[in-house]
């Protein structure tokens, strides 16, 4: 369980504020545009930038502790393996120089099939291998919370979801929680216990299921379809708000391929997309915003 109370942090003129946030369940994702504060959040939980207020992990305030005493692991986007050291020395860094767990080392090296990499320099292995090594290195240090800052974003879909699944599995086995920053909604396909949406340094909302999302800013990070912003109001489109006919309404185009076909139309000079489940026919689509679900910004 991660709790923030009256927490704020400043970095290079950017301010992140979290007055009150409780994340229970252990599988946490944070979404937000570039510059929304995801990295700042992760770095301040890790203790690499100093914030004010309270961050509790399982009831213990860690915000006054130095990074090495927080038991918070971090896998950054560029992984930051120690390139001059061998893979083995990367993995054993926490065992040799801190309180890393040699049993976990043995277990993970075996299970992730990285034994053959051990003598190689960390700068000489492939990106996919480096990602596994970065996961292993963090887990061997026995964190109670593992932070990930889009570390697998340079991967294909199957590899990335595979990596997230590895994290998922180990988090259950070793009993750590994780917080994963992403701007790819696919990363949520394995499920989550909390989804935190960040924008301009503030929490837009934190939900425990997709059904709980109320804000346009969160929806728009996860999908581009069935969303409309019009004259300062924001809507979620359903079948009932779309009326296809030959007489009047907006012109539209069917775009996409095969099963992923949807319509594209212009409203107030901007393009929007809808994927109705009913049959698409007729020259026009009439968009009845009074029948759409108005959502918050």
Partner 1 sequence: MKRGRSLYYLFVPFFVVYILFILTPIFRTLTYESFSYIIKDASSGIWQSIYYTYALALVVALLAIGFSIPYVYLVSRNENAGIKVVDSLVELPIMIPHTVVGLMMLITLEPSMPLGKLISRVYPGYQFLDTFLAVVITLFFLSSAYTIRAVQISYSNDVMKYEDIGRTLGMSPLKSYFIIALPMMSRAMLRGLILSWARSISEVGSLLIVAYYILPNIVNVAGVFIYSQFQSGNLSGAVASSSILIFTGFVALLAFKLLERGK
3-state SS, residue 248: coil
Query: In the chain, which ranges are E strands?
Result: 2-11, 14-23, 27-31, 52-57, 60-61, 72-75, 145-149, 177-182, 194-199, 202-207, 227-230, 233-236, 242-245, 250-257, 260-267, 270-274, 284-287, 293-295
Q: Which of 26, 37, 47, 249 binds partner 1 (CB under 8 A)?
A: 47
Q: How far is the CB of 14 from partner 1 (least distance, A)?
A: 14
Nearer to partner 1, 103 or 253 (CB): 103
User: Which range binds partner 1 by CB under 8 A, 52-60, 137-145, 214-222, 224-232?
Assistant: 137-145
Contact 219, 188 (CB under 8 A): no
Question: What are 128's two structure tokens?
Answer: 């996919």
The CA radius of gyration of the chain, in Å to the nearest whole number, is 23
User: Which range binds partner 1 by CB under 8 A, 41-49, 123-131, 169-177, 258-266?
Assistant: 41-49
How far is C-alpha 206 from the chain's CA centre? 12
Is residue 137 involved in binding partner 1 (CB under 8 A)?
yes
User: Which range binds partner 1 by CB under 8 A, 21-29, 51-59, 60-68, 260-268?
Assistant: 60-68
| 3-state SS string for 17-48 | EEEEEEECCCEEEEECCCCCCHHHHHHHHHCC
Q: How far is the CB of 43 from partner 1 (least distance, A)?
A: 8
Is residue 151 involved in binding partner 1 (CB under 8 A)?
no
Q: Which of 39, 94, 218, 241 binds partner 1 (CB under 8 A)?
A: 94
Q: Which of 26, 32, 37, 100 binds partner 1 (CB under 8 A)?
A: 100
| CA gap 192, 60 in Å, rounded | 23
Is residue 82 involved in binding partner 1 (CB under 8 A)?
yes
Give residues 191-230 in contact with partner 1 (rule: CB under 8 A). none
3-state SS, residue 172: helix
Is residue 65 involved in binding partner 1 (CB under 8 A)?
no
What angle (nearest 5°) sits at the alpha carbon of residue 167, between those of residues 187 and 99? 140
Is residue 48 involved in binding partner 1 (CB under 8 A)?
yes
Is residue 76 involved in binding partner 1 (CB under 8 A)?
yes
User: Which range binds partner 1 by CB under 8 A, 42-50, 166-174, 210-218, 269-277?
Assistant: 42-50
Is residue 127 involved in binding partner 1 (CB under 8 A)?
no
Is residue 97 involved in binding partner 1 (CB under 8 A)?
yes
What is the number of other CB atoms lying within 10 angstroms of the CB of residue 175?
Answer: 10
User: Which range binds partner 1 by CB under 8 A, 63-71, 158-166, 222-230, 246-254?
Assistant: 63-71
Is residue 46 involved in binding partner 1 (CB under 8 A)?
yes
Positive or negative, the Cα torsion across 269, 270, 276, 280? positive
User: Which range binds partner 1 by CB under 8 A, 30-38, 69-77, 109-117, 256-264?
Assistant: 69-77
By residue count, the chain amounts to 297
Contact 141, 70 (CB under 8 A): no
> Using CB under 8 A as the criterion, which residues of the chain lie in contact with partner 1 when the complex forms?
46-48, 66-68, 70-74, 76, 78, 80, 82, 84, 93-94, 97-100, 137-138, 141, 143
């Amino acid at each position: 369980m991660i709790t923030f109370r009256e927490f704020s942090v400043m970095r290079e003129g950017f301010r992140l504020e979290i007055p009150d946030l409780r994340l229970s369940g252990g599988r946490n994702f944070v979404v937000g545009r570039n510059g929304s504060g995801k990295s700042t959040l992760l770095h301040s939980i890790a203790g690499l930038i100093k914030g004010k207020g309270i961050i509790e992990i399982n009831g213990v305030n860690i915000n006054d502790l130095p990074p090495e005493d927080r038991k918070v692991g971090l896998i950054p986007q560029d992984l930051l393996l120690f390139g001059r050291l061998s893979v083995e020395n990367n993995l054993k860094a926490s065992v040799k120089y801190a309180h890393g767990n040699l049993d976990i080392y043995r277990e993970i090296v075996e299970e992730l099939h990285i034994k053959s990499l051990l003598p190689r320099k960390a700068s000489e292995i492939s990106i996919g291998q480096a990602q596994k090594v970065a996961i292993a290195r963090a887990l061997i240090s026995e964190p109670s919370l593992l932070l990930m800052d889009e570390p697998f974003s340079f991967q294909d879909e199957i590899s990335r979801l595979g990596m997230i699944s590895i994290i998922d599995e180990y988090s259950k086995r070793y009993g750590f929680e994780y917080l994963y920053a992403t701007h790819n909604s696919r990363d949520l396909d394995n499920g989550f216990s909390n989804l935190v949406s960040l924008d301009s340094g503030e929490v837009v909302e934190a939900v425990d299921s997709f059904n709980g999302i109320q804000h346009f800013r969160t929806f728009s990070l996860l999908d581009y379809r069935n969303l409309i912003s019009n004259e300062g109001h924001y809507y979620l489109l359903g079948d009932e708000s779309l009326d296809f006919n030959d007489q009047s309404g907006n012109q539209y185009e069917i775009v996409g391929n095969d099963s992923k076909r949807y319509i594209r139309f212009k409203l107030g000079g901007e393009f929007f997309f809808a994927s109705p489940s009913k049959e698409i026919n007729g020259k026009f689509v009439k968009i009845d915003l009074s029948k759409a679900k108005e959502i918050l910004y």
